[in-house]
Amino acid sequence: MLDGPFAARRGSCDVSTARERLDIDLIHGYLSQSYWAAGIPRAVVERALAHSLNFGLYDNGAQIGFARVVTDGATFAYLADVFIVPDRRGEGLGRWLIETVLTHPALSGLRRFLLATRDAHGLYAPLGFMPLARPERFMEIHRPDVYGGG
């Protein structure tokens, strides 16, 4: 179910999980400049994409957004690397992208769906994401300088 085709359309835009449509240059370019993955090597992005459920957002075939989910497809998922290119922000595309992600059959009925954000709580909260109910139960290994970007 994770590898099957999945798509949604709204006007001239569509969301697709088809890997062959992903613009790796765009994705790497954005992520390598982001606050959460600054300096990430292209090879690491490619490896992450190979092991994730990827959602490309396109307008007339050109990629304008992205999200990926790391999941077992049964109990747990982690939403990562969500972005809309700067000149297309403010159109509701980010919300539509996440709404579409949440409708994927492999992601329905999961016990836990996590994400981390510094500044997009207003996007995610209306879609059901809340602060951790029991943060004391969660632990992490965090290596912020692993890519050399800070």
Looking at residue 3, its pLDDT comes to: 65
Residues 102/127, Cβ–Cβ less than 8 Å = yes
Q: Among all chains, which residue has been given the structure tokens 């077992």?
A: 72
Looking at residue 1, its pLDDT comes to: 53
Q: What is the pLDDT of residues 108-133, one digit of tens each?
A: 899 999 999 999 999 999 999 999 99
Ranges of the chain with pLDDT below 70: 1-3, 149-150
Looking at residue 5, its pLDDT comes to: 85
Looking at residue 2, its pLDDT comes to: 67
Q: How far apart are CA 66 and CA 84, in angstroms?
A: 7
Q: How far apart are CA 141 and CA 150, in angstroms?
A: 16
HSE-up (13 A, CA, CB side) for residue 55: 30
Domains and CATH numbers, the chain: 7-137 (3.40.630.30)
Looking at residue 146, its pLDDT comes to: 87
Q: What are phi and psi of 25, to 5 degrees?
A: -60, -45
Residues 147/40, Cβ–Cβ less than 8 Å = yes
Q: Whole-structure pTM over 0.85, yes or no?
A: yes
